[in-house]
A and B are shown apart, each in its own frame.
Chain A
Amino acid sequence: GAVVSQHPSRVICKSGTSVKIECRSLDFQATTMFWYRQFPKKSLMLMATSNEGSKATYEQGVEKDKFLINHASLTLSTLTVTSAHPEDSSFYICSALGSSGANVLTFGAGSRLTVL
């Protein structure tokens, strides 16, 4: 079945630094990837939609300069949290939609970001 890998699974950084999270589709090509943020015991909130070769579409209220998304290839999308602050601490999850037309989203295992 389709597999989406996220790296790193956990990251701790100092306030003011930038952190990059990778989302890879391992056995399929993903034309579209979605990035979500999840707070403890809360639902998933969509941050942005990432299409290969084009600029990401951000949801209302999400700072595009804060959360940089790059989808440079059909198997890789990255989320960079720039100048991270403690309030950016969260669980970030990506999902990928295959180009085969199956219309099934596959989620990564998530990345836990802790900003000190």
Chain B
Amino acid sequence: QQQVKQSPQSLIVQKGGISIINCAYENTAFDYFPWYQQFPGKGPALLIAIRPDVSEKKEGRFTISFNKSAKQFSLHIMDSQPGDSATYFCAATPGGGGNKLTFGTGTQLKVEL
């Protein structure tokens, strides 16, 4: 029940393309869903987050789509750039974000020229 399943494990996208990463959860107590970006040898950095009262949130080139009934959420990176090449983790937590996070397994994104 505590798992967050993430796919794909790795992704190669051409520059300018759309990168899509999907996550699914089981625990209905989760109410805060952040996405983190991690570069090699660095800690994760918060990219964007969503709460279940909205179905979509957009910040610049990054969009989260949220489907509460299906218990799925996804990250879309528009106009993907080589600098976006990193590992992306979805996560979920109950209690509005102040509690411990359950992370997905990660997606290694490579954006090629």
Contact = CB atoms under 8 A, between A and B. Distances in A.
Interface residues of A, number: 22
Given A46-B100, A49-B100, A103-B96, A109 B106 contact: no
A93 B46 CA distance: 14
Residue with the greatest number of chain A CB neighbours at <10 A, chosen from B36, B45, B101:
B101
| SS class, residues of chain A in contact with chain B | strand
Contacts, number: 49
Contact of A107 (B41, B44, B97): B44
What interface size band does chain B fall in?
Answer: 20 to 34
Contact of B97 (A6, A34, A103): A103
Interface of A: 4, 6, 32, 34, 41-44, 46, 49, 93, 95, 97, 103-110, 112
Given A32-B98, A43-B89, 11 more contacts: A6-B43, A34-B100, A44-B44, A44-B89, A44-B103, A46-B100, A103-B97, A103-B98, A104-B97, A105-B46, A110-B43
